[in-house]
Amino acid sequence: MDLLIIGGSDAGISAALRAKELMPSANVSIAVADGFPNFSICGLPFYLSGEVADWRSLAHRTIDEIESKGIRLLLRHRAQTVGPKQRTVAVTDHTGRRSRLTYDRLVIGTGAASVRPPINGIETPGVFFLRWMADSFSVDRYLNDKQPKSAVLIGGGYIGMEMADALTLRGIKVTVVEFADTVLGTVTPVFGKMLQEELERHQIQVVTNTTVESITVRNGAMIIKGSNQFEISTDMVLVAVGSRPETALARSAGCRTGLNGALTVDRHMRTNVQDIFAAGDCVETWHRILQKPTYLPLGTTAHKQGRIAGENAVGGDAAFEGSLGTQAVKIFDLVVARTGLGEREAKMAGFDPFTASLETWDHKVYYPNARLMTIRIIGDRPTGRCLGAQILGRHGTEVSKRIDIIATAIYNDSKVSDLVHLDLSYTPPLSSPWDPVQMCAQAWLREQERGSGAPG
Which pLDDT score, from 0 to 100, does residue 220 have? 85
2-113+243-313: which CATH topology? FAD/NAD(P)-binding domain (3.50.50)
| 144 CB-near residues (< 8 Å, 6+ apart) | none
CATH superfamily of the domain spanning 333-448: FAD/NAD-linked reductase, C-terminal dimerisation domain (3.30.390.30)
Which pLDDT score, from 0 to 100, does residue 204 have? 98
For residue 455, pLDDT over 80 is answered with no
For residue 454, pLDDT over 60 is answered with no
Distance CA 131, CA 109 (A): 15
- Do the two domains 127-239 and 333-448 of this chain adopt the same fold? no
DSSP letter at 71? Answer: E
What residues does 29 pair with on adjacent strands? 4, 72
For residue 456, pLDDT over 70 is answered with no
Which pLDDT score, from 0 to 100, does residue 453 have? 47
CB atoms near residue 414 (< 10 Å): 18
* Mean pLDDT on 73-100: 97
For residue 146, pLDDT over 50 is answered with yes
Q: How confident is the model at residue 400 (pLDDT cuts 50, 70, 90)?
A: very high
* Mean pLDDT on 90-98: 96
Which pLDDT score, from 0 to 100, does residue 159 have? 95
Task: Write out pLDDT tens, residues 180-204.
Answer: 999 999 999 999 999 999 999 999 9
Q: Would you put residue 291 in left (φ > 0), alpha (ψ -120 to 50) or beta?
A: left
Distance CA 234, CA 4 (A): 45
The class level of CATH for 127-239 reads alpha beta
Q: How confident is the model at residue 452 (pLDDT cuts 50, 70, 90)?
A: low
For residue 344, pLDDT over 80 is answered with yes
Task: Write out pLDDT tens, residues 233-285.
Answer: 999 999 999 999 999 999 999 999 999 999 999 999 999 999 999 999 999 99
For residue 112, pLDDT over 50 is answered with yes
For residue 391, pLDDT over 50 is answered with yes
Task: Write out pLDDT tens, residues 114-142.
Answer: 999 999 999 999 999 999 999 999 999 99
Mean pLDDT of the chain: 96
Enumerate the domain spans of the chain: 2-113+243-313, 127-239, 333-448
- Positive or negative torsion for Cα 42, 47, 52, 56: positive
353: phi then psi, degrees, rounded to nearest 5: -80, 150
Helix/strand/coil for 142: helix
Q: Would you put residue 454 in left (φ > 0), alpha (ψ -120 to 50) or beta?
A: beta
The radius of gyration of the chain's CA atoms, rounded to the nearest angstrom, is 23
Which pLDDT score, from 0 to 100, does residue 449 have? 85
Q: Are 273 and 309 in contact (CB under 8 A)?
A: no
Which pLDDT score, from 0 to 100, does residue 129 have? 97
User: What pTM was estimated for this model as a whole?
Assistant: 0.94
